[in-house]
Amino acid sequence: MATLVLQLLTYQKTETLPFLLTSLKNQTDKDWQLYFSDDGSKPEIRAKQKEIFENANLNFPVVGFFDEENLGFAGRHQFLFEKHNADYVLLVNDDIILEPEYIAKLRNHLDKNPTTAAVSGIILRWRFDDKGQPIKKQIVDSLGFKKTRAHKVFDIGAGQTFVEGKVPTEIFGVSGCLPMYRRAALGKQLFDPSYFLYKEDVDLAYRLNKTGWTATLVPEALAYHQRTFQPGLIDRPRVSYKVQYLSYRNHWRNLLKHLTWRDWLKDGWAILPFEAAKFFFILFIHPSIIWRTWKEIL
């Protein structure tokens, strides 16, 4: 049987962690290990995290790593990926709640489909109620990635009301919030650490597509995500400068890294107007993002 490791990252918060751990305890498939790492949180946050783990009465093994350095989402997951050699790896955010068969359904799909490199279930959203308890909503967080002719990659259905049975049959890739990957398709690199944060999962989707692997949505698997960053021009002014910069920089890194001159000739008519509109919007809001991005890329 293929081995499985769950990789959990935490950063500067603890309020959602108990609900994640409870959902992991309730999984029907318990044949796995959890590799946990905090990514440079404050000492008081780390102390609270340790307390939560100690009081959780876990029924699965945990291998923990505490490091003062903040490597970002991409760098820290790559750090954990190099600490084990499991056949499959499931990436877990601390703001996720999994339904009991989530792991079993994804694992079973990879077992039966050797050409599939990445799988994810239906990811809906949740929030806290007035008493600090989770409310599971029928709002889509991600049904996988779709890529347009303009090479805009986005979460299918994000922010829309979920309709039972209306799920995509083909997807470009899977979101980084709760995917399961096949190590044989990844080689030595899960994510490129230089991305730090944002679009590293898109980079991986391009990589897997270019090498002939497929990604699949498994509709029988269900989980919930408390999303903090919701992309879009309307929300963008409320997002931190750092997030906007990394998102824009890494988007262009993906275009330059993965598109060939044939792609530009074929799809340039769609790419250039889309990028021009984004360029001038960001130039108006935060012109230094444009300067920093192209200075670094060039």
179 and 205: one domain?
yes
104 and 199: one domain?
yes
Q: Closest Cα to residue 106, out of 26, 182, 199, 45?
A: 182
pLDDT band at 229 (very low <50, low <70, confident <90, very high): low
148 and 277: one domain?
no
183 and 258: one domain?
no
pLDDT band at 167 (very low <50, low <70, confident <90, very high): confident
Q: Is residue 260 part of a domain?
A: yes
115 and 10: one domain?
yes
pLDDT in tens, 19-32: 999 999 999 999 99
194 and 66: one domain?
yes
pLDDT band at 106 (very low <50, low <70, confident <90, very high): very high
Q: Closest Cα to residue 254, out of 214, 168, 194?
A: 194
Predicted structure pTM score:
0.93
251 and 217: one domain?
no
CB-based contact 223:178 (threshold 8 Å): yes
144 and 271: one domain?
no
Q: How far from the centroid of its chain's Cα atoms is residue 191's Cα?
A: 11
CATH of residue 53's domain is: 3.90.550.10
178 and 265: one domain?
no
162 and 27: one domain?
yes
Counted domains in the chain: 2
Q: Is residue 230 part of a domain?
A: no
Q: Residue 285: which domain range?
A: 236-297
| Domain-ending residue, one of 173, 199, 225 | 225
Q: Is residue 176 part of a domain?
A: yes
pLDDT in tens, 109-139: 999 999 999 999 999 999 999 998 999 999 9
pLDDT of 11 reads 87
213 and 246: one domain?
no
